[in-house]
Structure 1
Amino acid sequence: MTRIAVAFAATVSVIVLLFSYRTSTHPSALGATGPTTRLPAGSAVPISPTTPSDPSSATPSGSPSATTGAGANGTYDGSAADTPYGPVQVRITLSGGRITAAQTVQVPNESRRDVEINNAAVPELVQETLQAQTAQIDTVSGATYTSEGYIQSLQSAIDAAHR
């Protein structure tokens, strides 16, 4: 009888410990008070050396800065794609009908982990965009939501360029 009571008490203790374990990496969920890297809301994360440094020079979403067509030149913003961690928005620059630069206008940045993931993933996504010249690119392992949002916004920007 005492073996059953000890086994029952041990089982209950393990279950209580499992349910009290925190799995979130968000600093506020962990009670972190240290500094975190945060980007200002609406700030661009530059990826390409051709990224404009003056945000006021950017064209509105879907608005070309030159004529459209096969040889379209200009800057085009994709629509913001919602992800579970925040919006992802892409801006592309076309020259001679080719994507010559891509950058993210918005990426999730609420936690240090968001910033780490996006600092690693976005350059890979941009490189694939410049190589593929299309939105049919691979997702980055470990950044699935960002990748899917990037691809969705990239396709929107490409569509805007061909209007």
Structure 2
Amino acid sequence: MRRITLALVSTVAVLVLLFSYRTSTSGIPNGSDTAPPGIVGPAVPTEAPPTGSSGTASPSGAAQSGAAPARPTDTMTVNGSVVDNGYGPVQVRLQITAGRITDVTTLALPEDGHSRRINSQAVPQLRQEVLSAQDVQVDTVSGATATTDAYLQSIQAALDAAHLGGGS
């Protein structure tokens, strides 16, 4: 009888956990309309492609003058995924130029007063550390563990979408 009761309680507990697990971010809280993860726009060249003395690029990509060409600098904007940190959604947008993170913009953060106070100190610090490290391998901001984890998960998703990997 004890085994049956234990098995029944375990089964109910597992079912409750399974049904309460959120499997997608399509139901973003607070009616937020933040963008889904992924590349927002195509990579946009910011420099002209290498040209030879005749003013045209060679089929091989090398300048016809024989000198090594300068690589075009591509800039792209990529949204990270929306991550629920337990207090609300967190989402970032990365600007990536020539494979380097050049800007981090926060698209969504929890709105309540306590979270707003924490985020006003944590987010600028996280942004600066990510820009310096060029990676998600940064220290957790003391007192803002949930925000740090969600922020870095969103950044990692953006790096993955841009096919840059990162550190997780």
Is the shorter-chain TM-score for this pair beyond 0.5, marking a shared fold?
Answer: yes
CA–CA separation in structure 2 for the residues paired with 1:63 and 1:147: 22
Corresponding position: 1:155 with 2:156:
yes
Aligned pair in 2 of structure 1 residues 60, 79: CA closer, same or farther (>3 Å)? closer
Tell me if the contact between 2:104 and 2:127 (Cα under 8 Å) persists in the aligned partners: yes
Letter in 1 for 2:110: P
- Identical-residue share of aligned pairs (%): 45
Tell me if the contact between 1:79 and 1:156 (Cα under 8 Å) persists in the aligned partners: yes
Provide the secondary structure at the position in 2 that maps to 1:73: strand
1:93 alignment counterpart: 95
Tell me if the contact between 1:81 and 1:87 (Cα under 8 Å) persists in the aligned partners: yes
CA–CA separation in structure 1 for the residues paired with 2:126 and 2:106: 10
Name stretches of at least 5 consecutive residues in structure 1 with no aligned partner.
1-39, 45-58
Name stretches of at least 5 consecutive residues in structure 2 with no aligned partner.
1-29, 45-72
Corresponding position: 1:62 with 2:64:
no
Letter in 2 for 1:86: G
Calculate the TM-score normalised by the size of structure 2. 0.57
1:76 alignment counterpart: 78
Calculate the TM-score normalised by the size of structure 1. 0.59
CA RMSD of aligned residues (A): 2.6
Number of residue pairs the alignment of both structures matches: 108
Structure (1/2) with the larger helix percentage: 1
Tell me if the contact between 2:103 and 2:131 (Cα under 8 Å) persists in the aligned partners: yes
1:129 alignment counterpart: 130
Aligned pair in 2 of structure 1 residues 134, 126: CA closer, same or farther (>3 Å)? same
Higher RCO structure (Cα 8 Å, ≥6 apart) = 1
Aligned pair in 2 of structure 1 residues 41, 141: CA closer, same or farther (>3 Å)? farther
Aligned pair in 2 of structure 1 residues 60, 85: CA closer, same or farther (>3 Å)? closer
